[in-house]
Amino acid sequence: MRNILITMINSDPMPELLMHIIRYVMPSKDKELKKLLYFYWEICEKYDSEGKLRHEMILVCNAIQRDLQHPNEFIRGNTLRFLNKLKEPELLETLVPNCRSCLEHRHAYVRKNAVFAIYSIYKVSDHLIPDAPELILDFLNIENDATCRRNAFVCLSQLNREASLLYIQEQQLESLDPLIQLAIIEFIRKDALQHNELRQQYLQIVTALLDFGNTAVAYEAATTLSVLSSSPASVKNAANKFVELAIKESDINVKLIALERISELHSENEGVLDDVCLDILKVLSSPSVDVRNKAIEIGLKLVSSKNVEDVIKLLKKELQRTTNSNEDKTTEYRQALISAIHSIAIKFHEIASSVVDLLLEFIGELNTSAATEVITFVKQVIDKYPDLRSNIINRLLVSLSNVKSGKVYRGSLWILGEYCIEEPDVQATWKHIRTNIGEIPILGAEKKANGFEAEEDDLEAKSENRSATKPKVLADGTYATESAYDEPKKDSTVASSKHYKTPIRSFILDGDFYLASVLASTLVKLLLRLNKLSGRKDLLNALKAEAMLIMVSILRVGESSFVKKKIDEDSSERIMSCIRFLSEEETNVKLLEDAFLDSTIEAFHQQVDGQVEAEIEKLSSTHLNAEQVDDPIAFRQFSNKDAKVIGDDEKELMAVQGGSTQKEDLSSRLNKIVQLTGFSDPVYAEAYVKVHQFDVTLDVLIVNQTTTTLRNLSVEFAALGDLKVIDKPSSSNIPPHGFHRTQTTVKVSSADTGVIFGNIVYDGQHADQSTIVILSDVHIDILDYIKPATCTEAQFRKMWNEFEWENKISVNSSLPTLKEYLDELLKSTNMNNLTPGSIIGDCQFLSANLYSRSTFGEDALANLCIEKSVDGPIVGHVRIRSKGQGLALSLGDKVAAVARKNSNIAVTEMQALYQFREKYSYDDPLAWMKPFVDEHIVPHVPQKFQNTEIVKENLHTLIFGITLYTTIFQFSKLIFMFPTISNALKSKKNRLDGSVRVVSFIQAIIICVLGIPVFKNEHYPRIIFYASMALSYFIWDTVISTIYVNLFGVGFLVHGIVSTIVFGIAVEKNFILYYSAAFLLFEISTPFLDIRWVGLKFKVLPDFVKLLNNIILILIFFFVRICWGWYQVIKLAKDLYVASDEPGFTTFGACVILGCNFVLDVLNVFWFSKMMTVAVVTIKQMVGFSKKADDEKLKLM
């Protein structure tokens, strides 16, 4: 029964089953089967071809009546539910009395479904139950069950509005059950949109329900209140109720929904909910990070000058609480708090100073990401509020002693170098830096601290003692190899860790020379600033000398063994440049000031301006959704009486149920059509691929191109990757040249590249015969599921460290500029550029971070790093990271396609060969046969041969090849029996010879075409298929040569046996497959040999064509079979000798292979000598020196 329902849902009505189901299924008492039966009644065809009710439906009506009178209340209730979906008045007319009686049933389950059944019947045809509204109202007044009363009121509100209003007025709303209260609220929300005059009364009712209702009622009442009125009081009441729900409810989903409603209220009523800000932030007591982040996001929108101090106090208290908290994701929550405080302090000047003091106080306890956020905040505050600079610098100098991150310290040094514009600040900063570097030179101080100087002083004395000291003799008479009194050399790393190091010194010794280069730039900035502020040359020169000493000391220690990592070239060059700048004359001071003081702060201002522009653009995008001043205004009073106003909730529900209403362009639909079969196939099929959010629909059009009816035609699909075919189209019969459409839905579970493949199967002339047409693959484009997204730098770096799958793609493109390549990359991967800044187009280096998110919530990160010389191509790499492997690989394919796009780089001849071979490469075209052969044929093979490579992997290819050549041979024998052909051949031997030559001609064409991609290519994955096809022909040739050995001679039999042995070993052992295409080049001469035979036997070719064919045959036979063949034998012998020491090499196998190929080349020489003999005889005949040669002697072997 389930299968029947599935088939009917898939567009096959199956009307012939109706009577069978009435006879055999309808009498069953099985409850599950009865439930499925009602599903069948719902979708089956109830009318005949003339539009009249089918006679069988009378029996169905009787069965439904019996079920409506059944003593089991659940069967009655299920039957009443079925009546809600029945739309045929003829059927419903006889069921009305039973439905009326069910309203008085003792069980509430029956009564609640009976109410809806009465309502549904009235909506189908009101004359069937003309008193339905009065009947439901009477039922509502006497009913006691809450669910039944709720259902009755819902039906009454749809049938009789006035009666519903009267019922609401008569009831004590606070005493009603919550189910009825929810139904009343829903009625009020819909009715208020149509009847604006009752809005004030509705507001009183909803406000009353807002206070004493339960949680669900309170939520619906708050939502309705915000719809009924936009007054500040109503909006605040609704918002307060949402806040109360978000605080009291323990369910995280309820909290998030309530907060989302508050966010919507704020967007529609800006400035009204500022007083609710502190109440919203009370939700921060929730342990969920998502709830906390949502509350912070909404709270930031509601911060104003009135409540900013209270908000900051609350956030400070939360930040202090996180320092001692052991909760999960405390670090993430702390960073969200810091970001919130950061954004508030930027907007409000009056609290910036206290916020900076607070954050700098905690900077030592924060992780690198959070501390970096604090330094970024300090940069913006100190730049925006000049009057706070001195206090912030002093507070920053105090906090730096607790900083443990080099990145944070680098940012702090940049702030000190840029904003120390007063002489006291410069001197305080210099003192702090000098103190934190410690004793200089650093290298000498480290040596002294680790005792290296004492070792150097005693080095000479120790060497003298070693030369004068005699070997020690132990008690057992042996020599001591080491003295217990010799001290081993101290490890500098271990020794250096025993004494305290200042922060800057420890960073340098740990190998952070990026910080050292920033320190050198900071020292230069401080000296340039001091040169402008102070006229004391002696102090300036002293500080210059000290700065140069510090820089040289850093360079020296960077090359020593006291650091964990040697200094890099970039940092060394940067520090050396600073030393040169300080040592130059004062004539270049202006240039230095422009480079170190003006350009750097200007770059920072550009970065800040870029962020501000991004915020403005984001705000402008939201304003686009607002109504414009010239938009028409809809007055409800002037609208048509029949016009129905639809609320926002109904619109959202319609959008969810109906999906996207955007119409597709015809051209875009045509681009999504995929051809599944060829025009020469008996069945033509094409599919329109429509991508939804989480599934793909294939709308397949099938055309019967034959003159016969295709019976039981079905389309079968399967999928690779994270795809799942969730329905199977039913089979159908297609008339000659007829059309048929079917649909298949494929479920998509991730944004990985997927492949959909399948075939069309239909019955042949007999029931046991079926025809299969293989369909082309349908590739799912991941760009349909990947959308550009944005994230902060901290989030990007966090995800970059967490994601474990990385795909690195090399870039080599000939696009003219880096900007064009970046634009093309963004377009082809649907990624968003997170790196701020503009690209002019003529830069030589580009680095950018890219980000996108799939519809399944998967994040994809990319880092682009490319460069371009003046005349060279764009080179570099793109690193992609994601949480799953599939998304990283799929995006990598898209990036690689961009790198190849529009590339005009010249290729060598060998590259051209590889490209040509790749273009015509093929997979195993017979893979569809393998499951059938493995299931039905391999079990009949002897057990000892089943695990061989030939049987296990290649038997399907051999069966196909042998069957193909045998069919061609038998068909040729039938053709050669026609009198017009057989008279020319005269004998049975010639007819058999002709049939064999037809097979050899077709085989030569197949082998030569298949050999293009595998020639000289040892890495081709399907070269084994090529060798198997050749083996299938040689097996067939050996069998035929054995059967007709008396006609064709021993030479052909030896050729077949030897070739079978060679390629059998090659396929079984995967041995010398590299040479398979090289030796099969022999087959190039076969077509010309067969054409020569046709010209001799049938006299259909002109003499000029025969002469040209003979010349080509001789040349190809000599150069390919003789010269090329012996060359390959010699090369094969050489390669086998070289590989004799390799694992898996067997001398016996090598000798067999080499001997067999030697025999084949000897046969080629023998046949060539006979060919030349015939050629000489023919030439003599042409010039008149010999009599006409017999046709049999002129035949070329």
Is the pLDDT score of 1030 beyond 90?
Answer: no
What are the pLDDT digits (tens) for 243-275? 888 888 888 888 889 889 888 888 888 878 888
Nearest-angstrom CA–CA distance, 535 and 423? 11
Task: Tell me, yes or no, whether 344 and 439 share the same domain.
Answer: no
Task: Tell me, yes or no, whether 1018 and 1110 share the same domain.
Answer: yes
Higher pLDDT pick, 477 / 280:
280
Nearest-angstrom CA–CA distance, 1182 and 1110? 14
What are the pLDDT digits (tens) for 374-433? 888 888 888 888 888 888 888 888 888 888 888 888 888 888 888 888 888 888 888 888
Confidence of residue 904 (pLDDT cuts 50, 70, 90): very low
What are the pLDDT digits (tens) for 200-244? 888 888 888 887 768 888 888 888 888 888 888 888 888 888 888
Confidence of residue 1071 (pLDDT cuts 50, 70, 90): low
Spatial neighbors of 857 by CB under 8 A, at least 6 apart, are: none
Confidence of residue 849 (pLDDT cuts 50, 70, 90): very high
Average pLDDT across the chain, whole number: 78
DSSP 479: B
Q: Name residue 84's amino acid.
A: N
Give a yes or no: residue 639 inside a domain.
Answer: no
Give a yes or no: residue 48 inside a domain.
Answer: no
Q: Which of 1066, 1055, 1040 is nearest to 950 (CA)?
A: 1066
Element (H, E) at 1104: helix 1103-1116
Mean of pLDDT values over 266-290:
84
* C-alpha to C-alpha distances, 361 to 340, 620, 1104, nearest whole angstrom: 17, 37, 102
What are the pLDDT digits (tens) for 600-631? 877 787 777 777 776 676 666 555 445 555 55
Give the domain-ending residue among 757, 778, 799. Answer: 778
Which class for 377: exposed (0-12), middle (13-18), buried (19 or more C-beta within 10 A)?
Answer: buried
Instruction: Give pLDDT, residue 632.
Output: 63
Asked if residues 825 and 848 have their Cβ atoms less than 8 Å apart, the reply is no
pTM given for the model: 0.57
Task: Tell me, yes or no, whether 337 and 358 share the same domain.
Answer: yes
For CA atoms 126, 127, 132, 133, the dihedral sign is positive
What are the pLDDT digits (tens) for 955-995? 888 888 888 888 888 888 777 776 666 555 666 777 777 78
Task: Tell me, yes or no, whether 1011 and 1124 share the same domain.
Answer: yes
Give a yes or no: residue 341 inside a domain.
Answer: yes
Give a yes or no: residue 135 inside a domain.
Answer: no
Helices (H), 1011-1102: 1023-1043, 1045-1048, 1050-1069, 1076-1079, 1085-1098
Higher pLDDT pick, 1146 / 1047:
1047
Nearest-angstrom CA–CA distance, 112 and 156? 13
Contacts 24+ apart (CB under 8 A), 904-910: 904/814, 905/812, 905/814, 905/873
Higher pLDDT pick, 90 / 655:
90
Instruction: Give pLDDT, residue 466.
Output: 47
Instruction: Give pLDDT, residue 461.
Output: 45
**Structure-derived torsion over alpha carbons of residues 538, 540, 543, 544, reported in degrees to the nearest 10:** -110
Mean of pLDDT values over 1135-1141:
69
State phi, psi for 904 to the nearest 5 degrees.
-110, 25
Is the pLDDT score of 684 beyond 90?
Answer: yes
Give a yes or no: residue 1120 inside a domain.
Answer: yes
Show the tokens assigned to 913.
């060969």
* Total count of domains within the chain: 5
Residue 865's domain spans which residues? 783-905
Instruction: Give pLDDT, residue 586.
Output: 63
DSSP 524: H
Confidence of residue 645 (pLDDT cuts 50, 70, 90): very low
Task: Tell me, yes or no, whether 882 and 946 share the same domain.
Answer: no
Task: Tell me, yes or no, whether 1026 and 1169 share the same domain.
Answer: yes
Give the domain-ending residue among 559, 583, 607. Answer: 583
Task: Tell me, yes or no, whether 712 and 796 share the same domain.
Answer: no
Asked if residues 767 and 761 have their Cβ atoms less than 8 Å apart, the reply is no
Confidence of residue 879 (pLDDT cuts 50, 70, 90): very high
Task: Tell me, yes or no, whether 701 and 794 share the same domain.
Answer: no
Give the domain-ending residue among 562, 583, 604. Answer: 583
State phi, psi for 748 to the nearest 5 degrees.
-110, 130
% of the chain at pLDDT higher than 90: 3
Q: Which of 812, 825, 877, 818 is nearest to 842 (CA)?
A: 818
Higher pLDDT pick, 580 / 453:
580
Confidence of residue 850 (pLDDT cuts 50, 70, 90): very high
Q: Which of 138, 85, 147, 82 is nearest to 112 (CA)?
A: 147
Give a yes or no: residue 1114 inside a domain.
Answer: yes
Which of the residue ranges 259-273, 315-329, 359-373, 1140-1154 would you say has the lowest mean pLDDT? 1140-1154
Instruction: Give pLDDT, residue 842.
Output: 59
Is the pLDDT score of 726 beyond 60?
Answer: yes
Task: Tell me, yes or no, whether 802 and 893 share the same domain.
Answer: yes
Is the pLDDT score of 1193 beyond 70?
Answer: no
Is the pLDDT score of 840 beyond 60?
Answer: no
Instruction: Give pLDDT, residue 683.
Output: 92
Instruction: Give pLDDT, residue 837.
Output: 61
DSSP 1117: I
Is the pLDDT score of 178 beyond 80?
Answer: yes
Higher pLDDT pick, 648 / 831:
831
Give a yes or no: residue 1079 inside a domain.
Answer: yes
Is the pLDDT score of 1190 beyond 60?
Answer: no
Instruction: Give pLDDT, residue 490.
Output: 42
Instruction: Give pLDDT, residue 282.
Output: 87
Nearest-angstrom CA–CA distance, 211 and 204? 11
Which of the residue ranges 6-20, 176-190, 587-601 would you say has the lowest mean pLDDT? 587-601
Task: Tell me, yes or no, whether 724 and 834 share the same domain.
Answer: no
Q: According to the per-residue pLDDT averaged within each range, which of 679-688, 996-1005, 1121-1130 is highest?
A: 679-688
Nearest-angstrom CA–CA distance, 675 and 776? 7
Instruction: Give pLDDT, residue 196.
Output: 79
Task: Tell me, yes or no, whether 898 and 956 share the same domain.
Answer: no
Helical packing angle, 178-194 and 199-212, nearest 10°: 160
Give a yes or no: residue 855 inside a domain.
Answer: yes
Helical packing angle, 73-83 and 56-68, nearest 10°: 130
Nearest-angstrom CA–CA distance, 722 and 752? 7
What are the pLDDT digits (tens) for 329-372? 677 788 888 888 888 887 887 787 778 887 887 777 777 777 88
Show the tokens assigned to 172.
């004590």
Instruction: Give pLDDT, residue 486.
Output: 43
% of the chain at pLDDT higher than 70: 80
Instruction: Give pLDDT, residue 1196.
Output: 38
Task: Tell me, yes or no, whether 363 and 454 share the same domain.
Answer: no
Unique residue bearing structure tokens 């880096």:
818
Is the pLDDT score of 469 beyond 50?
Answer: no
Q: According to the per-residue pLDDT averaged within each range, which of 48-52, 284-288, 1190-1194 is highest?
A: 284-288
